[in-house]
Amino acid sequence: MELAMFDELLQMVGPRMTKAETNWRESLEPGLRLAVILRYLATGDKYPTLQYQYQVDYKNRWNVPHPCGALDGKHVALQCPLNTETLYHNYKDFFSAVLFALVNANYKVLWIDVGGLGSMSDCQIFNESEIKQCLDDGSINFPDLEPLLNDDHDTPYFLFGDDVFGLRTYMMKPYSIRRLTKEQRIFNYCISRG
């Protein structure tokens, strides 16, 4: 649909599509609501596909545009398997296997790796994972580059990671803690919320 036609349609139906803000959620702006509805009518896609495509959840829920998910690991305590003490002993001083997952803004698991050795860091597990290979070769099918709101430079979609991950075009992480400017502290806050 051409932009002029979309704008005309938005002028006609926009006032009816405006929803009130509540204490539990921010409403979607009428233009975004219209875009999602038109996409649904044109393709018949299910809601999870549309929310991923339009990145509605992260933008509205956490006020961060363009993320596709958050990636992190969790140590799960276990009894040490025989003859493997150093492999499963972690830096927190107990035996564990690592559950490593990618989740969306609604905490839905999109990808999971179970059974990483407790002695391995999240970064090591990520570097050996199938998802990293897919991210590196571009087969993960992130949405195409798009400018952020009020900007004209194309910006990639990305995953959230903590400070153990390397910064990449597909991985956003916080600034290191030392001597942060006010803008960097705000950025870290937004990343941490997401």
Considering the domain architecture, whether residues 122 and 150 belong to the same structural domain is answered as yes
Would you call 5 exposed, middle or buried from its count of C-beta atoms within 10 A (0-12, 13-18, 19+)?
exposed
89 in helix, strand or coil? strand
Is the same domain home to 2 and 98?
Answer: no
pTM above 0.85, yes or no: no
pLDDT at 95: 83
Q: What are phi and psi of 125, to 5 degrees?
A: -65, -45
Q: What is the mean pLDDT of each run of 10 residues along the chain (194 residues)?
A: 82 78 63 74 60 58 75 83 78 82 80 81 83 83 78 84 83 83 84 72
* Domain range for 49: 1-18+26-54
Residues 67 and 31 reside in one and the same domain: no
Query: 70 and 46 in one domain?
Result: no
Q: Which residues contact 119 (CB under 8 A, 6 or more apart)?
A: 86, 87, 88, 89, 90
| Same domain for 93 and 118 | yes
Say whether both 88 and 158 belong to one domain.
yes
Overall domain count for the chain: 2
- 36 plus 98 within the same structural domain: no
For residues 118 and 69, membership in a common domain is answered with yes
Q: What is the CA radius of gyration of the chain?
A: 20
Q: Are residues 139 and 108 in the same domain?
A: yes
Whole-number pLDDT of residue 194:
67
